């Protein structure tokens, strides 16, 4: 795959074969995927063949191989010009995202309560592959309420406070969700998992604000140097996975009817305005609302532990998704267009003044939350005016090794000892789960963020460092 360096931190994949637009990769030379080990750049080119795609097929600096779309891929299609929606452009963990909470506790005061706090979180946070949740829903009607209203329903039922909704993307719920478009199998998989962390790279991490890059914006977000924070990373669990599976199969069957051909069956898609496209977006929105409620329930579990152990509270800084397709209006070639923006492993980063921001964040821009790999720093960013890639930025460090490869390089027991020797308390569900998430399996998140900022995608606000982690 030939890349042409257009500008610092920006490389171009020229149009070829059936590509409708070029590919654009935001990277340093060190972060460009090894084509012999990682086929993500080929996937960038494949995404560029989708009907209705505009601008370019974009890759964030944390890009790596995924299902159909690369993880770290962004693509927008013109809804009014036959543009399509592709479940592979969202992924299996629909609305997987990150939530950051700020504690009224300084890191210097944490050592006296750290073990009790971590033990409490360890016991309170359901996680792993199986069932188990904070909220035991009684019937399908209650689950449908979660699918329609997400965090709003959770707060209505007493699991949070109204301010939480102001600090959540879409004010806690995606509109146009329709539980009727969610299969019975997806419902069965999701019924017992609302308020659970899951496995893989999902986590709850106790952190501290180690460095503030922009004091004005950090203050607007509610952050200050030395402050203890909690970061939660999880998504829609088995429900979202099943919805993706269901609609990939449906769209595989309907593409011939619509005259759509794609170079990879994992890019199965349908016109946004088709029955299948509308049904998928309605089901995807339901899964997104499930994920928002999931993080809201975990927030309340963490709040109970902090209140009991420290006597203090946790205020929501922001909750943002990084696996979603959204209908948005953007200017393309000087014309306002209605686009279906796919962000897979990519975070929306709205600039200051954007109409979708709550009033208290409007002057500062939208917080974009970028977790590092286990044991490394995380970052809080903000959107900037005039950014490329439809107001999107990176979502994390990005894998360089598979989970299987990671387990061959380190034992979970050894990794835990190494992290704890650095003052990071670890509560893991399994030794294998820890080994799969070794920092050596990921890119350097600091370099990823530097590239994202250098490419004009976002701006750094604060750097967070880990003090304790609860892993699935």
Q: What domains, with CATH codes, occur in the chain?
A: 4-400+442-471 (3.90.1860.10)
Rounded to whole angstroms, the Cα distance separating 434 from 419 reads: 11
Cα–Cα distances in angstroms (integers) from residue 447 to residues 61, 106, 217, 422, in the given order: 9, 28, 22, 22
What distance in Å separates the CA atoms of residue 169 and residue 27, rounded to the nearest whole number?
27
Cα–Cα nearest to 83, from 330, 321, 323: 330
User: pTM to 2 decimals?
Assistant: 0.96
What is the enclosing helix (H) or strand (E) of 396? Answer: none
> At residue 267, does pLDDT exceed 90?
yes
373 is in an annotated binding site: yes
Q: What is the DSSP letter of 29?
A: G
State the pLDDT at residue 403: 81
Pairing of strands 323-332, 97-106: unpaired
Per the listing, tokens 């107001």 go with 391
For the ranges 116-130, 250-264, 392-406, the one whose mean pLDDT is highest: 250-264
Does residue 203 have a known ligand-binding role?
Answer: yes
Q: What is the structure's pLDDT at 192?
A: 87
Decide if 458 contacts 61 (C-beta within 8 A).
no
- CB neighbours of 188 closer than 8 A, spacing ≥ 6? none
Residue with tokens 């979202």: 240
| Distance between CA atoms of residues 313 and 306, nearest Å | 6
In the predicted model, is pLDDT for residue 130 greater than 80? Answer: no
Is 202 known to sit in a ligand binding site? Answer: yes
Angle (CA) 161-189-184 rounded to 5° is: 105
233 is in an annotated binding site: yes
When pLDDT is averaged across residues 86-95 and rounded to a whole number, the result is: 98
Q: In sequence order, what are the residues at sequence separation of 6 or more whose Cβ sits closer than 8 angstroms to the Cβ of residue 404?
A: none
Q: What is the pLDDT of residue 372?
A: 94
The residue with greater pLDDT, 441 or 107, is 107
Q: How far apart are CA 371 and CA 471, in angstroms?
A: 14
- Catalytic residue, from 64, 159, 342, 395: name it: 395
Per-residue confidence band for 129, with pLDDT thresholds at 50, 70 and 90: low
Instruction: Say whether 196 counts as a known binding-site residue.
Output: no
Q: Are 40 and 33 in contact (CB under 8 A)?
A: yes
374 is in an annotated binding site: yes
> Which phi and psi (to 5°) does residue 234 adopt?
-165, 180
- Residue 159 annotated to the active site: no
- 204 is annotated as contributing to ligand binding: yes
CA dihedral 248, 251, 255, 260 (to 10 degrees): -60
- H-run or E-run covering 296: helix 275-310
Compute the distance between CA of residue 37 and CA of residue 401 in angstroms, rounded to an integer.
9
Report pLDDT for 155.
Answer: 97
For 402-425, the pLDDT digits (tens) are 888 888 888 889 888 998 999 999
Q: pLDDT value at position 151?
A: 97
471 annotated among ligand-binding-site residues: yes
| Residue 289 marked as a ligand binder | no
Which is more confidently placed, 174 or 198? 174
**Does the annotation list 323 as a binding residue?**
yes
Cβ atoms < 10 Å from Cβ of 35: 12
Residue 10 φ/ψ region, left for φ over 0, alpha for ψ in the -120 to 50 degree band, beta for the rest: beta
pLDDT per residue as tens digits for the range 305-321: 999 999 999 999 999 99
Angle, helices 275-310 vs 114-124, to 10°: value is: 140
Specify the range with the lowest mean pLDDT, choosing from 129-133, 294-298, 319-323: 129-133
- 444 vs 237: CA distance, rounded Å: 27
Alpha carbon distance 439, 390 (integer Å): 30
**pLDDT the model gives residue 137:** 80
Phi/psi class of residue 34: alpha, beta or left (left: φ > 0; alpha: ψ in -120 to 50)?
Answer: beta
Determine whether the annotation assigns residue 443 to a binding site.
no
């Amino acid at each position: 795959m030939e890349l042409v360096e257009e500008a610092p931190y920006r490389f171009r994949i020229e149009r070829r074969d059936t590509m409708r637009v070029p590919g654009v990769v935001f990277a340093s030379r060190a972060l460009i995927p090894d084509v012999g080990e990682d086929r993500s750049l080929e996937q960038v080119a494949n995404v560029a063949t989708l009907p209705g795609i505009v601008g370019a097929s974009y890759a964030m600096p944390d890009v790596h191989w995924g299902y159909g779309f690369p993880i770290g891929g962004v693509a927008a299609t013109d809804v009014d010009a036959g543009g399509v929606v592709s479940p592979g452009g969202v992924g299996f963990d629909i609305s997987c995202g990150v939530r950051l909470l700020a504690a009224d506790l300084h890191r210097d005061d944490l050592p006296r309560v750290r073990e009790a706090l971590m033990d409490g979180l360890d016991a309170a946070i359901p996680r792993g592959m199986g069932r188990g949740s904070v909220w035991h829903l009684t019937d399908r009607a209650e689950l449908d309420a979660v699918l329609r209203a997400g965090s709003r329903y959770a707060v209505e039922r007493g699991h949070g406070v109204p301010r939480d909704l102001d600090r959540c993307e879409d004010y806690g719920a995606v509109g146009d969700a329709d539980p009727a478009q969610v299969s019975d199998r997806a419902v069965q998989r999701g019924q017992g998992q609302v308020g659970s962390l899951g496995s893989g790279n999902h986590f709850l991490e106790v952190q501290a604000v180690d460095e503030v890059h922009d004091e004005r914006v950090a203050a607007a977000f509610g952050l200050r140097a030395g402050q203890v924070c909690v970061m939660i990373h999880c998504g829609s669990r088995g429900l979202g996975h099943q919805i993706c599976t269901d609609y990939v199969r449906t769209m595989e069957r309907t593409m011939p009817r619509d005259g759509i051909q794609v170079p990879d069956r994992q890019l199965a898609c349908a016109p946004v305005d088709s029955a299948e496209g509308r049904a998928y977006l309605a089901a995807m929105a339901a899964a997104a609302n499930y994920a928002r409620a999931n993080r809201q329930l975990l927030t309340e579990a963490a709040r109970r532990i902090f209140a009991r152990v420290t006597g203090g509270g946790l205020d929501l800084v922001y909750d943002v998704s990084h696996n979603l397709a959204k209908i948005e209006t953007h200017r393309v070639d000087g014309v306002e267009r209605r686009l279906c923006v796919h962000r897979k492993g990519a975070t929306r980063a709205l600039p200051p003044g954007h109409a979708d921001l709550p009033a208290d964040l409007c002057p500062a821009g939208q917080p974009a939350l970028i977790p590092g790999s286990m044991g490394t720093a995380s970052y809080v960013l903000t959107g900037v005016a005039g950014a490329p890639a439809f107001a999107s930025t990176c979502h994390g460090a990005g894998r360089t090794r598979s989970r299987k490869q990671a387990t061959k390089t380190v034992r979970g027991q050894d990794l835990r000892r190494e992290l704890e020797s650095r003052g990071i308390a670890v509560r893991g569900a399994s030794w294998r789960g820890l080994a799969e998430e070794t920092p050596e399996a990921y890119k350097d998140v600091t370099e990823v963020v530097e590239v994202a900022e250098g490419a004009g995608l976002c701006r750094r606000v604060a750097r967070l460092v880990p003090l304790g982690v609860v892993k699935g």
